[in-house]
Amino acid sequence: MGETSPHGPVNVAVLLGDPRYPYPYAPDGRFGEEEYTGVERLRTALANLNGYRFTYFDDHDRLFESLKAARPALVLNLCDTGFRNNWDYERNVPALLEILELPYTGSDPMAISVSTDKALVRAAAATLGIPVPNETYVDLTADPPVMPVLYPAIIKPNASGGSFGITKDCVVNDAVEAEAYMAWLRSVLEIPQALIQDMLTGTEFTVGLIGNPADGFTVLPPLEVDYSALDPELPPILTYASKADPESPYWSKLQFRQADIDDITWAKLVEHCSRLFTRLGFRDYARIDFRCGPDGEPRLIDANTNPTWYWDGKMAMMAEWAGYDYAAMMELMLKAAERRVGLARASNGGL
């Protein structure tokens, strides 16, 4: 572990994506205005925190040597782009930090790996009694292909991030549409595995948690995805375009608002999130998504170990509803990691 004075600021390395490398998620394939604005907002927020000294690292070609030389007391791992901006290497970043024996914020490589396998997450949730959609796992290379039993259905990749592979055509109404979409998925996925699920059309919620099982969670007010302005001819889902294509109606028409949930349903969601967070080995923070079925029961649809840390992301929005500005949210995340690794007691008087 890096060293820090008992009475001085905690030396924190802030680990980011590398703007020198291509970034396939951005509209232009490289870091653009959104990414640079996100980093500047982050720098401004962290500069307002007392008791820390922040140093920024984004050169992935020199990452190992730079961190080894710096020996920070804690790494704020915000590299959700993956090593050299390759999502397949997202888990490699915390693996590198473990090799260097540096404590860091967020989940470890195992939890990230598990969370990217949606079928495994659903299976874990089901064993905990958390409601889940009806689902069929599909090997897209199978001949003949496995087809939906009931329509409409939604077909999505089993292992992908950022809604990649989810388009308006993933909601299928007959066998012709299903076969066409699965053929397209097979052509674009490195791992040709998919899930066929019931198409849930009820209210969609997301719940943010900051903390750890041993110390308790700050559970942020729930967010609801508002699809009301979307063309009714388009399926009400969060597509890849909603995050990556400014020209898409999914980008411009979707809104997010604080959800109005009755106390019983909210208590259930908090319990579901706490148990799943613990079971999957998540650490420090997470965002967990649900959507209601025809019976009104929220069902798990995704669990995110690395929800976006941007100032205008869902986590920041929910934190603001709870009375935490962006800087305060980042401090909550840092304090959660400090308590988990035993750093807070040594460096901050036991806070």
Give the number of other CB atoms < 10 A from CB of residue 246. 9
Q: In the prediction, which pLDDT does 246 show?
A: 83
Residue 285's closest CA among 218, 214, 206?
218
Q: In the prediction, which pLDDT does 346 show?
A: 43
Q: In the prediction, which pLDDT does 24 show?
A: 84
Distance, in Å, from the CA atom of 87 to the CA atom of 145, rounded to the nearest integer, reads 28
Distance, in Å, from the CA atom of 36 to the CA atom of 255, rounded to the nearest integer, reads 23
Terminus-to-terminus CA distance in the chain, angstroms?
Answer: 19
The pLDDT tens digits for 23-50 are: 988 878 899 999 999 999 999 999 999 9
Distance, in Å, from the CA atom of 112 to the CA atom of 210, rounded to the nearest integer, reads 16
The pLDDT tens digits for 269-293 are: 999 999 999 999 999 999 999 999 9
Give the number of other CB atoms < 10 A from CB of residue 231. 11
Low-confidence ranges of the chain (pLDDT < 70): 1-7, 161-163, 344-351
Give the number of other CB atoms < 10 A from CB of residue 119. 16
Q: In the prediction, which pLDDT does 299 show?
A: 97
What residues form DSSP beta bridges with 225? 256
Residue 147 CA from chain centroid, whole number: 29
Under a CB-based contact definition with an 8 Å cutoff, are residues 1 and 73 in contact? yes
Q: In the prediction, which pLDDT does 6 show?
A: 54
Q: Is 211 in a helix, a strand, or coil?
A: strand
Under a CB-based contact definition with an 8 Å cutoff, are residues 13 and 4 in contact? no
Q: How far are the Cα atoms of 266, 323, 339 from residue 262, in angstroms, in the given order? A: 6, 21, 32
Q: In the prediction, which pLDDT does 344 show?
A: 53
Sign of CA dihedral 149, 195, 124, 275: negative
Q: In the prediction, which pLDDT does 28 show?
A: 84
**Domains of the chain, first to last:** 10-104 (3.40.50), 123-129+201-222+259-332 (3.30.470.20), 133-198 (3.30.1490.20)
Distance, in Å, from the CA atom of 283 to the CA atom of 217, rounded to the nearest integer, reads 11
The residue ranges of DSSP E strands in 106-176, in sequence order, are 135-139, 153-157, 171-172
